[in-house]
Amino acid sequence: MIDLYRLRGVNHSRMVYFPYNPTKWTPNPYDRESLKTELQDSLSVFRAFVLVGPRRVGKTSLLRYLEEFGKKKGVLTGYVNFQESWERSPSTEALVEYYTTSILDSFLAGGGFKKALKYGFWRKIEWLKDNISSIKVDIIKDFVGITLDWRAGKEKAETIVRTALDFPESLASDLGRRAVVLIDEFQELRLFKQAIPNIYGLLRSKWSEHDKTSYIVSGSAIGMLRSLITSENSPFKEFFIDRKVNPFDVDTSKEFVSEIFDSTGIHYDNNTVESISEKSGGIPKWLVRLTYDLHMMCRIKKLKRLDGGLVNKVWNELYSFRSGTYVGTDFQRDIERIGQGNTLVEGRLKTILTAMSRSNKSTPKDLLSYAQEKHVRIAKNVLFGYLDRLMAHGIASRHEGGNYTIIDPVLKEWLKRSV
């Protein structure tokens, strides 16, 4: 979701713009005005926000929005993704390298590389090297590479992480600027607890000492984040300003679709708009995907009006493996993330979700019956453990009466079709 994306539209006598590119993050996400305004406060005074919501509802777009807005206001901004760090290498070394490199590159880019080096960044790079003897910093053209040689240094992992966490505040203080660090998939920090058992307490203590740097974190593992910020024994209890990011409501979804097609010169009726809104479930990723694909279909076929048949055709393409937006790719990525490489667990999670897709609400008994029907052995106590995982990662939700549903309607439809 989405830089301006230039396309030749239905009216070939002029160029029109499809305002959202579904392959990129947007610097200005649709709607969310009150939340965007609130997040902007972190650019002038210390704030610690946590954005919680299911996958694909636009949390990363909000972080990217704040990153771009901050740069325009002269604020040092840095974006990191803990899931990306873990996928690169599940080690403390990789976390420190990724965090410091991402922060440093972002800060340098925001200040102008050569100008930033001239006015203090180089001194801070030397400070980093002085404080972590096992660190190596290379500058090649406009890229800063940071690596750690643990054999060459004598520091403990916690000491190095502590120094790295102070880096943004030290840079901001040295330059007399505000800074904001944006962290995506914050819950994945738990994966580093084996190497650094006190990682949560370490972050809380360091961040509480900083007055020039704000921290905005987000994550789709709803259950994990909720526990992290509300549990009585959590270091982060009452630390974050908690904000939930929901799918768009029906009216907002319809307004989005109408504005898009009005701006691109495509005619439509209310039934078509309602159909797109309903199929997407108000989830921004799918809403953008459907409207973009419909726009492209009209462009290719030189159509000036949308109808239900065209909407259904594009909708069905989302579930075709020949499509570049094949829904199954997203689903497989989610399952691998939750199963953490255990194929047995991944198989059982798929079975449970497939069973859940067969009705609007499923009881544990329904899920166990389906698993038995498919010759998949899952004990009742194990089932509840899997359901907790799916809820914690924002894939499923539990309702009154002990019924479970899949949050993403597009994922649910794909599972129904893939049986």
Q: What domains, with CATH codes, occur in the chain?
A: 33-244 (3.40.50.300), 248-317 (1.10.8.60), 327-418 (1.10.10.10)
C-alpha distance across the termini of the chain, in Å: 30
Residues in Cβ contact with 206 at an 8 Å cutoff, skipping those fewer than 6 apart: 162, 165, 166
pLDDT at 210: 94
pLDDT at 13: 36
- Among the listed residues 288, 281, 220, the one whose alpha carbon sits nearest the alpha carbon of residue 408: 281
Tokens of 305: 């009006």
pLDDT at 328: 83
Which parts of the chain register pLDDT below 50?
1-15
pLDDT at 250: 94
pLDDT at 2: 34
Q: Is the pTM of this model over 0.85?
A: no
pLDDT at 119: 54
